[in-house]
Structure 1
Amino acid sequence: MAAKSPESSLMVNRHIDLCFDLDLAITAVDDTSEISKATSMVSTMPTVTVVDACTVCREGFQSGEGGKQLPCGHVYHAGCIASWLSLRNSCPLCRCSVPSKD
């Protein structure tokens, strides 16, 4: 029987928790002054044509329906991202900070 390499032994013992609880993330509130500024940015975000699903609600976009694009490039339904930004001032997917409009 061949001996295991140190690298393969490390991989066996490595566990990465990839679970994401959207309800928990939505209920965890960030600094409210920054949140209200980020929420006001939704109307100024570019509207883009998309073919994928919104990662907040997991529903697809209707034909001809545009999504709101954050500075990081991720796209969401306007209502979904407005709800998210009312609690957190970051992208739901990559956690990039959404700059406030001053």
Structure 2
Amino acid sequence: MASYFEEHNCEPLAPGEQPDHLLHLARLLIDGGFGASFDMEYHRIFPDQPHKPPASKQAVQSLKRAPLDETGKKCPICLKEFGHEEFVTELPCCHFFHDDCIIPWLKLVNTCPVCRHELPTDDPSYEELKAQKGEPKPEPSKP
């Protein structure tokens, strides 16, 4: 029989750690399907803002993955502390994430969730729009 934590895909809090109720509420709303509603509402309010496409498959596959030497750092998405020598994904902007956190994010949008640094996309019209606006083209990730 699976434990509660395995069933709910979560881990128990460390001693002295407090639950993040706002993060829990946000996850419930997204899991309940409200994420798409928020996205549609945003585009209704700001119609001139182009929707960010997902990062290119090549950019995601070429991201640096290495064990993290530092202790005490947390994943900015799930807010869990990285384990010692745990393999993490580093974006070109030098922010670190768990693979399970950043890969789904980059399948939706091409930006770092911390600083909004853009990764290349497979969307030629979006790349052309950025070029017309004079935005610097993100450097292609090296294989």
Could you tell me the TM-score, scaled by structure 1's length? 0.59
Aligned partner of residue 61 in structure 2, secondary structure: helix
Structure 2's unaligned 5+ residue stretches are: 1-25, 41-50, 122-139
Give the number of aligned pairs: 77
* Bigger Rg over Cα: 1
Q: How do 1:1-102 residues align onto structure 2 when only pairs under 5 Å count?
A: 28=39, 30-31=51-52, 34-35=53-54, 37=56, 39-48=57-66, 49=68, 50-51=70-71, 52-100=73-121
RMSD, aligned α-carbons: 2.8
Contact 2:75 2:97 (8 Å CA) reproduced: yes
Q: For the residues of structure 2 that align with 1:95 and 1:78, how far apart are their CA atoms?
A: 18
Q: For the residues of structure 2 that align with 1:70 and 1:79, how far apart are their CA atoms?
A: 14
Q: Highest relative contact order (Cα 8 Å, sep 6+), 1 or 2?
A: 1
Deviations 1:37-67 (A, max 9, x none): 1x55333211231431000111111222121
With over 3 angstroms needed to count, the CA separation of the structure-2 counterparts of 1:67 and 1:96, relative to structure 1, is: same
Deviations 1:8-43 (A, max 9, x none): xxxxxxxxxxxxxx768x754944xx4151x55333
With over 3 angstroms needed to count, the CA separation of the structure-2 counterparts of 1:54 and 1:95, relative to structure 1, is: same
With over 3 angstroms needed to count, the CA separation of the structure-2 counterparts of 1:40 and 1:78, relative to structure 1, is: farther
Q: For the residues of structure 1 that align with 2:55 and 2:119, how far apart are their CA atoms?
A: 11
Structure 1's unaligned 5+ residue stretches are: 1-21
Deviations 1:79-98 (A, max 9, x none): 11101111111000000101
Q: Which amino acid aligns with 1:79?
A: D
Q: For the residues of structure 2 that align with 1:65 and 1:78, how far apart are their CA atoms?
A: 11
